[in-house]
């Protein structure tokens, strides 16, 4: 006794290839946005990598200046903590603070307390109003920067007069303290100040731009001369690069959450991704069209149902399911015409025997037509439907 072979099933779910074809445009746009956001964030977060580091040979580093100081017998030591910077403040030392704005207000107050009466020199590189008022009391930073980077000394400070024109243009400063040397003015505001201490032995130098300290600008104009004179007046130079790992930077008053610790580039990149996702959602939602109210129940013609189901089968390439549905329906309609119970309509022995006796045809051909394998393409499926329709008409013929 033979049994009907179960037709191979084809899933109506979209394949991976179909999903990729539909979503590749959106995926490509998302990938481009993500790459752009990551690139901007990385460039922003690493823009100052190695800047003003006496060990760095990068264009923005300061290794060349450290080598020149060593040739003149001045040692350079790098420190990254406030405790080391405070300990290094001595009469024979120049303390260079490379990024004063990175210091928290408590750090600024502690550093100023240590350097005010040290008798040495403190060089502040491009401090803004966020730090200069604490590290150099009586000095204020103008919010409008100098338009020109190359300026003339125009002051009586010997170091500036010997150096001549230099690239000090940047932040401009003003002060009403007596005895202050204001050099390299831009629109009547100085870009370099030398402020003597109350004891008269030490001083504080406020420099409006870091250009004269960098490797790529050191050989321009009088930059090297001015930098050597500002840093070479003492035997030792302590180069202070504030670090986020410094324990003194974390205080109960300055606690920050996770978002405050992220670079601004990452925040902007994340915001752009959210905006892009919202626009993509709106774009995809518009394709569905507005909702149309319809009174229920709705009578739908049988032809529409058949046509809709056929389109679904075709879209999913489910030829096996379509062929099985056509054959099953044909067998059910043929069984009563041949005197075969409907319950035996799907049994090849019962149905094919009655059908062969009625048509005097080839049983093998009828078996292949009613119980054969699924068609391999759409053309074969169409041919199968035509053959089944012809078979049913032949049986119904008087």
Structure tokens that stand for 19 in this block = 């999903």
Do 80 and 179 reside in the same domain of the chain?
Answer: yes
Q: What is the pLDDT of residues 74-88, one digit of tens each?
A: 999 999 999 999 998
**Domain stop point among 249, 269, 298:** 249
Asked whether the predicted pLDDT for residue 41 surpasses 70, the reply is no
- 260 domain residue, yes or no: no
d(CA 344, CA 324): 16
Number of H helices, E strands in the chain: 14, 11
What percent of the chain clears pLDDT 90, i.e. is strictly above it?
44
- Which residue range is the domain that position 365 belongs to? 306-396
Q: Is the pLDDT of residue 2 over 50?
A: no
**Averaged pLDDT for residues 371-395:** 89
In a domain, 267, yes or no: no
Residues 242 and 325 placed together within one structural domain of the fold? no
Note whether 233 and 328 are same-domain residues.
Answer: no
Gap between the Cα atoms of 311 and 305, Å rounded: 10
User: According to the model, what pLDDT value does residue 241 have?
Assistant: 93
Whether residues 311 and 244 fall in one domain: no
Are both 312 and 191 inside the same structural domain?
no
Q: Can you give the pTM of this predicted structure?
A: 0.55
Would you tell me the crossing angle of helices 348-359 and 363-371 to the nearest 10 degrees? 130
Q: Is the pLDDT of residue 5 over 60?
A: no
Assigned domain for 192 exists: yes
d(CA 299, CA 31): 47
Q: Do residue 240 and residue 321 come from a single domain?
A: no
Most confident of 66-70, 281-285, 363-367: 66-70
Q: What is the DSSP string of 241-297?
A: ---TT-GGG--GGG---HHHHS-HHHHHHHHHHHHHHHHHHHHHHHTT-------SS
Which of 232, 249, 266 is a domain's end point? 249
Of 233, 249, 265, which residue is a domain's last? Answer: 249
pLDDT at 192: 97
In a domain, 372, yes or no: yes
pLDDT band at 101 (very low <50, low <70, confident <90, very high): very high
Residue with more model confidence, 301 or 252: 301
Question: Looking at the structure, do residues 194 and 97 belong to the same domain, yes or no?
Answer: yes
pLDDT at residue 10, rounded to an integer: 46
Non-local (6+) Cβ contacts of 357 within 8 A are none
The verdict on 100 and 213 lying in the same domain is yes
Q: For residue range 107-119, what is the model confidence (pLDDT) as tens digits?
A: 999 999 999 888 8
The mean pLDDT of the chain is 85
Q: Summarize pLDDT for 241-250 with one digit per residue, the tens.
A: 988 777 776 6
In a domain, residue 209? The reply is yes
Task: Based on the fold, state whether residues 195 and 314 are members of the same structural domain.
Answer: no
Instruction: Write out pLDDT tens, residues 304-323.
Output: 888 888 888 888 888 899 88
Same domain, 221 and 360: no
Regarding predicted confidence, which is higher, 49 or 356?
Answer: 356
Q: Is the pLDDT of residue 294 over 90?
A: no
pLDDT given at position 269: 81
**Claim to verify: residue 210 and residue 339 sit in the same structural domain:** no
Query: Which of 268, 197, 206 lies closest to 43 in space, CA to CA?
Result: 268
């Amino acid at each position: 006794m033979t049994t009907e072979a179960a037709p191979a099933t084809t899933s109506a779910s979209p394949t991976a290839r179909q999903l990729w074809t539909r979503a590749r445009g959106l995926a490509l746009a998302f990938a481009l946005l993500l790459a752009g956001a990551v690139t901007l964030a990385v460039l922003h977060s690493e823009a100052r990598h190695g800047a003003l580091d006496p060990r760095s040979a990068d264009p923005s580093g300061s290794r060349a200046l450290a080598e020149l100081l060593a040739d003149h017998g001045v040692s350079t030591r790098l420190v990254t903590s406030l405790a080391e910077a405070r300990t290094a403040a001595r009469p024979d030392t120049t303390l260079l603070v490379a990024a004063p704005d990175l210091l928290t207000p408590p750090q600024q107050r502690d550093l100023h307390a240590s350097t005010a009466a040290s008798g040495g020199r403190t060089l502040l590189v491009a401090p803004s109003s966020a730090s200069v008022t604490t590290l150099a009391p009586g000095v204020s930073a103008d919010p409008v920067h100098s338009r020109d980077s190359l300026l003339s000394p125009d002051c009586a400070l010997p170091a500036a007069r010997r150096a001549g024109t230099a690239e000090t243009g940047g932040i401009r400063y003003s002060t009403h303290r007596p005895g202050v040397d204001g050099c390299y003015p831009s629109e009547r505001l100085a870009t370099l100040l030398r402020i003597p201490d109350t004891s008269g032995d030490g001083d504080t130098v406020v420099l409006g731009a870091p250009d004269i300290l960098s490797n790529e600008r050191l050989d321009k104009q009088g930059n090297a001369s001015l930098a050597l004179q500002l840093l070479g007046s003492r035997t030792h130079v302590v180069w202070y690069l504030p670090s986020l790992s410094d324990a003194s930077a974390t205080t109960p008053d300055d606690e920050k959450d996770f978002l405050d610790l992220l670079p601004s580039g990452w925040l902007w990149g994340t915001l752009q991704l959210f905006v892009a996702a919202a626009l993509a959602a709106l774009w995809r939602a518009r394709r569905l069209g507005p909702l149309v109210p319809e009174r229920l129940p709705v009578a739908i013609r049988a032809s529409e149902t058949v046509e809709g189901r056929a389109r679904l089968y075709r879209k999913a390439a489910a030829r096996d399911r379509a062929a099985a549905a056509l054959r099953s329906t044909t067998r059910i309609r043929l069984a009563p015409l041949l005197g075969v119970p409907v319950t035996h309509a799907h049994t090849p022995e019962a149905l094919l025997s009655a059908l062969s006796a009625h048509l005097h045809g080839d049983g093998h051909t009828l078996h292949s037509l009613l119980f054969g394998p699924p068609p391999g393409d759409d053309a074969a499926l169409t041919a199968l439907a035509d053959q089944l329709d012809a078979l049913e008409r032949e049986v119904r013929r008087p």
